[in-house]
Structures are given as C-alpha cells and as structure tokens.
Structure 1
Amino acid sequence: MIRLLVVDDSALMRKVLGGIFAAEGDFALAFARDGLEALDLLPRFEPDVVTLDVTMPGLDGLACLDRIMLARPCPVVMLSSLTGDGAEASLDALARGAVDVLEKPAGAVSLAIDRFAPVLVQTVRAASRAKPRTAHGLAARLRARHAGLVPPPGPRPAPRATEPGPDQGPSAVPALPLEAADGLVLVGTSTGGPPALTALLGALPASFPWPIVVAQHMPATFTGPLARRLDGLCALTVQEVTAPVPLAPGRVYVGRGDADVIVVRRPGGLMAAPAPARAEDPWHPSVDRLVESALGLVPPQRLVGVLMTGMGRDGARTMADLRARGGRTIAEAEATAVVWGMPGELVRAGGASVIAPLDSIAAELTAFVA
C-alpha cells in the first residue's frame, strides 16, 4: 500500500482526490485541511508521498513544504492553479524539493477529472518511489526568514535587457547556418527536471559553443516562467520557444509546454520551432520528437543527447538510435535522478555513451563539445 497524505483547503477537492485514489485500491489515505494539520499528521501517518495544494490560508503550501523537508523529508507533489502567480510558486516549490507539480482542474472539476485522474495517479505512483531533494541551505534560510532577515522568495529577476524582447522577433539573433554549425545539444527531462536543468545549465559558461534545445515535460503555464527563471540563474541566455527562433551558440531554447519543440531548417539556417503535440506521444514537449527532428537535419556526430530525471521512457528510443548512428549521449546516473525512468531506459537500451551523476553532466557535456 502507498500511504498518501492529501493536503487541500477545499473540501470538494479533498473529496475528488480521495475518490480518485480510493478507486485504485492500493492507497492508504489521510487528509489535511491546511498546512498545520498536515504537519500534525506527518509523524503519525508517516506518508510515502504527499499531495500539497500551493495556495492555502494560514500556512501555505510553500511554507508547509519547507517544514516537511525539515521534519520528515518525503516525496511531495504540488497541485497548482493555472495562474502566473501559481506557476511562479510551483517553480519555487520544485526548487525547495518538491518532486513534481500538476495543474489542478479548473472550472467544472467533474468535466476535467477523466483527463486529470490518470496523470495524477501515475505521477503520485512515480513520486512514491522518488528520492526527494532537500534544497541546499534550507534550515539556515528558514531561520533567517523567521528572524525577519530575508524576505520569502519571489519571482526571479526579469530577463537581461540585452536579450531580444518580444517586439524584436527572431531576426534579432543571427541564424546558425547548417554547414557552419559545430553541433547541437538536445536535453530531455521530466519529473524532477527543473532543479536538474538549473544544475546542468548553471554550470555551463556563457561561451558554451553549441545551442541547447530542451524538452521538459511541463504544462504551458509553467514553461515560460521556467525559462525566465533559468535565464536569471544561468550565464547562458534562456528563452521559451513560442515561435520559430534561430539557433545560436550560448543560447538555450525551452520547448513550450502542452506542445512539442522541433528543429527545422529555413533558408537562413537551423531554427527551434513549436509544433502541435502529436497524439501518439503521451508526454509533451516530446523528447523523442525533438531528437527525431534533429537527426533529420544534423549529422549524428554533431549531436549530443542528454537524458535526465523523469518517469516513463520518452527519449530513450531516439537517443539510443542517435548513439547507434555515431552521436553521443549522456544519461543521468540513478544515484542522483529523482526518478530514474527515462535515463534508466536509455541505459538499459545500451544507448548511453556516458552515465554521469547530475553534478558531473556539465563537465561531460563540455568535454564532448570541446
């Protein structure tokens, strides 16, 4: 049995979530109406995983998450609204150690439940086997915040003024001619991905010579704030792909959620472009589709695939093919992956050139492109 603690201030949502998991037959359930009640239940119920509403009165989801990670670290799945504030809070939660974030059904919950329930159950099952990451320096930060020395985290800095703004369009960056391109890095990740992307991209210099295209499984509401946050934390320039944009060295292109991101060729050179999600791919942006598109345009020897933490097998098949055709691939090691699903499938398929812990992937990647 999976011991699940459901924390939500809405009686309707507690009832809906309880019904979803009770129907599965292998969940032992407990419920809390707010963060304080959840903390009281934590040592008595000893959950394997917690679903935690982001927005609650009193002790909100972020503050409750901090205390869970101090008192009894366990996998936490955050349930967030679709608002911009909810997206920023969700990214804060992932940085503080939450395993994943899901959108709460909006409007008529009963109409969205058929779509929401399977994703929720699959995510919580994966989270129950995940390794929660406690944010570095959490205890000291909480002590300082309690003493009034630092404010709670807010939205990350806005993109640098030197970046092309929305009104400048893709033409502000020169296209990368196919014949002149040194190469291209393709990154795939899912559950636990935003902190992994922060660790990888934050360790790369602004002079990194190859463009990087990222397929991170995530709703569209979250990928824009994720790209802006990564841009503020990394030396590289990071942007969300909402329209075709030329590929250029020193830049990272994050696929928009609920759609796919692909590599295309235009008269001026290679570009990253959004594409409608394919029905046959269960997760989006699809890593498999990204790799397939790049293999159709760039010699495999000039491609590097990086597959990091995430449930499922997206990216394993195509990155194994990439390696078989002469390209290079890096799989995150099981010891550091929150969920060793996607990289584990790549390793089992014999498709990993290198298996590396998270804090070594940037060095491996730099060695590959040197």
Structure 2
Amino acid sequence: MRGLIADILESGGVEVVGEAGDGREALSVVADTEPDVVTMDVEMPEMDGIEAVERLMADTPTPTLMLSAYTAEGAEETFEALDAGAVDFFAKPGGEVSMGVSRLEEQLVETVRSVARADLSTGSRRRRTAAAAAASGAARSDAGGTGDAGPDVSVEPNTTLIVGSSTGGPDAVERVLSALPGEADLRGVVVQHMPEAFTGRFAERLDAACDLSVSEAEDGMRIGRGELAVARGGHHLEVASARDGRLRLNVIDEERGQGVRPSVNVTMESAARVVDDPLVGVVLTGMGADGSDGVRALSRAGARVLAQDEDTCVVYGMPKRAAETGCVDTVLPLDDIAGGITGERA
C-alpha cells in the first residue's frame, strides 16, 4: 500500500520524501524530512495513526491526511484522528489493502495537495478545547463565539438552514451547530463531502454535541423545528417540499454531473425552489467550487447567504468561489457564523 500510494503521488507531481511502516517510525521520518503534508494510515503496528497524529501535532505539527478503511469501524477511528488534529481523511475502497485506490488517483493527489495548504492554527485540535469548556459549564461563547445562548434569539419562525462544507468541514460544522441554541426556530440540512460509511457516525457526533436534534437523512423523511439532517454519503439530497413548518427530503441515488455526492449545489438549489419561509445558506471550509451555483439560487430566492472567511478556513476553496459569485451577504470568521445564522451578528 505504501508503494502504491507513493507511485500515485509521484505520478501526480507530488514529491515523496519519505516512508514509514508504523506511527513511531513516522514521527522520526517527519522530524528528519520536514514534509509539507503527511498521509497516515489509521491501523498500524507499534503505534497507530491516532496516537501518531497526537504526537505529531505536539512535536512537529504537520498537515496530515488520514487513510481510512471504508467501514463504520474505520469511520469511528478516523473521527478520533480528526479530533487529534488530522486535517482530513481519504477512504480506501475495498478494505485495508486494496488496489482499487488506484482508480481514485486524481482525487487522492488533489486531496493531498489541498491538505498540504491547510492552516493548522484553525484545525480540529481546538475542538477539544471547546468541548472541554462546554463540558465544564463554560459559556457557549467560548465554544462558538456567539455570545449568550439564551432563549432571546432573533431567528425568524420556520427558518430553513442549509450548510455545505468539505475539507476541514467536520470540525467547522460541529463548532457552528454546537453554538446554535436549541430554542432557535430552525430546521435544516448539512451537506458534508464524506463517504456513505461515515455520514451516519458524523450525524451521531453532531447530535451528541448540539442542542438541536441531528440525524442522517433518509428518503422521504420529514424534519421540523429544532431538527437537522445530514446528507447521506454517495447520494444527493433534495428538499422536496416545505409544508406545516417541516421539510420533506428525497435521497437521490444518481449522478447529476456535480462531480461529488452529496452535492451542496443540489441541496441548495432544491431548497431555493420549494422553501417559501426564511432561508439561510452557509458555505464553510472546503476545496473546490461546490456550493457556488447553490448560493446563486439561494440569493435569487431571497435567502441570506453566509460564508466562512479565509483566515479561519482550513482550505479556502468553496467559500472563496461562493464569495466570487457576488451572492454572499456576509463573510464571517468561523466562530461568528452561528451568530450570523441567528441574526446576532451581521
């Protein structure tokens, strides 16, 4: 697997300066070679990827991409690695050792290049600090920057929220949603570029961290006040209708020329078509341009559109392309996004 990955990266123009057979060896190789980016398997002898990332971030912080098994167990371990400070992950199809990854050469090279540009000062290590503060009873503003999270919030009734993100998104989404008060009259959808084996676990983690109720989207499900659905990996998610204060969602198992599934564009464009109540769109950190067509549709429908600023993005790709459309109303630091959604910050 190491040889295969090295060949793929080299053929894509990425210089491979070293290899390691386990986490302990990786720490030594990183210290000696000072690479721009590290690809790290989760399962390794001697020292696994989770411990290796923790040590790496403490000793020689380096943008790290986790290579994960495409399984529910792999998802749990991968999220632990993201908590430890890894920037993103790449799911290996077909198990621990599979030549199938060679079919995804272009995507792997693009992801490695994207992770190499990540700003670690905005990375997921801050999630542990925020979570510890929340657990100890600290003010919610320490976790989300939105100030007093009392019942007096200015969210308009029946507001629909659509959040889109990619690289660096799991941490960013959690920090935004955990700062939203449960009393807010919100229902909505989260679209995170993530494989199908991972989105269910992602929804569970968000549900545990948030006052709002979060679950993985199912075909035909209805979500109402205080509820959010996470788009299922490998499928598009449409808002099919908006009635009686609830949204009905369709999970679509087909290609739509978006290049990614789920696509932020598909969900935002569908919401723009059917939602007559107040509508808010948010584009967070991520590589690529997904969401730029969606924010155009939202803007035409009269929605408020927010985007994360460059300084707090792990990768300033999707928010940049969204802002370039001229359809973003407000650009905010990550910790001010929740306040922008509730109307506390303009």
Q: TM over 0.5: same fold?
A: yes
* Aligned ranges 1:102-117 → 2 under 5 Å: 102-106=90-94, 109-114=98-103, 116-117=104-105
Report how far residue 220 of structure 1 moved.
0.4
3-state SS, counterpart of residue 200 of structure 1: helix
User: Quick check: 1:306 aligned with 2:282?
Assistant: yes
User: Quick check: 1:262 aligned with 2:238?
Assistant: yes
* Aligned ranges 1:81-230 → 2 under 5 Å: 81-106=69-94, 109-114=98-103, 116-132=104-120, 133=123, 135-136=125-126, 182-230=158-206
User: Quick check: 1:358 aligned with 2:334?
Assistant: yes
In structure 2, runs of 5+ residues without a counterpart are 130-155
| Count of residues in correspondence between the two structures | 317
Q: Distance in 1 between matches of 2:232 and 2:259?
A: 15
Report how far residue 111 of structure 1 moved.
4.2
Name which of 46, 59, 78 aligns with 2:47. 59
Equivalent position amino acid for 2:70 in 1: L
Equivalent position amino acid for 2:302 in 1: G
Report how far residue 16 of structure 1 moved.
0.6
Q: Distance in 2 between matches of 1:267 and 1:288?
A: 22
In structure 1, runs of 5+ residues without a counterpart are 1-12, 140-179
Greater shift, 208-217 or 88-97, is seen at 88-97
Residues 255 and 137 (structure 1), Cα distance of their counterparts in 2 relative to 1, 3 Å cut: closer
Report how far residue 349 of structure 1 moved.
1.6
* Aligned ranges 1:224-243 → 2 under 5 Å: 224-243=200-219
3-state SS, counterpart of residue 102 of structure 1: strand
Residues 326 and 121 (structure 1), Cα distance of their counterparts in 2 relative to 1, 3 Å cut: same
Equivalent position amino acid for 2:125 in 1: A
Q: Distance in 2 between matches of 1:201 and 1:128?
A: 27
Q: Distance in 1 between matches of 2:243 and 2:178?
A: 32
3-state SS, counterpart of residue 196 of structure 1: helix
| Percent identical | 38
Name which of 19, 27, 32 aligns with 1:31. 19
Name which of 44, 55, 60 aligns with 1:72. 60
3-state SS, counterpart of residue 312 of structure 2: coil
Report how far residue 350 of structure 1 moved.
1.2
Q: Distance in 2 between matches of 1:240 and 1:193?
A: 16
3-state SS, counterpart of residue 80 of structure 1: strand
Name which of 301, 305, 316 aligns with 1:329. 305
- Post-superposition CA distance 1:87-108 (Å, at most 9, x none): 1011111222211111113268
Query: Which residue is equivalent to 1:49?
Result: 37
Residues 266 and 295 (structure 1), Cα distance of their counterparts in 2 relative to 1, 3 Å cut: closer
Q: Distance in 1 between matches of 2:212 and 2:302?
A: 27
* 1:105–1:113 CA contact under 8 A, matched in 2: no
Name which of 20, 45, 66 aligns with 2:8. 20
Higher relative contact order by CA 8 Å / sep ≥ 6: 1 or 2?
2
Report how far residue 368 of structure 1 moved.
7.4
Query: Which residue is equivalent to 1:288?
Result: 265
Report how far residue 348 of structure 1 moved.
1.6
* 2:87–2:124 CA contact under 8 A, matched in 1: no
- Post-superposition CA distance 1:129-161 (Å, at most 9, x none): 11122513979xxxxxxxxxxxxxxxxxxxxxx
User: Quick check: 1:278 aligned with 2:255?
Assistant: yes
Which portions of structure 1, spanning 4 or more consecutive aligned residues, are displaced by more than 4 angstroms?
266-269
Q: Distance in 1 between matches of 2:242 and 2:30?
A: 55
* 2:41–2:68 CA contact under 8 A, matched in 1: yes
Equivalent position amino acid for 1:271 in 2: R
Q: Distance in 1 between matches of 2:283 and 2:304?
A: 11
Equivalent position amino acid for 1:228 in 2: E
Report how far residue 363 of structure 1 moved.
0.5
Query: Which residue is equivalent to 2:315?
Result: 339
Equivalent position amino acid for 1:103 in 2: A
Q: Distance in 2 between matches of 1:77 and 1:223?
A: 18
User: Quick check: 1:244 aligned with 2:238?
Assistant: no
TM-score, normalising length: structure 2: 0.86
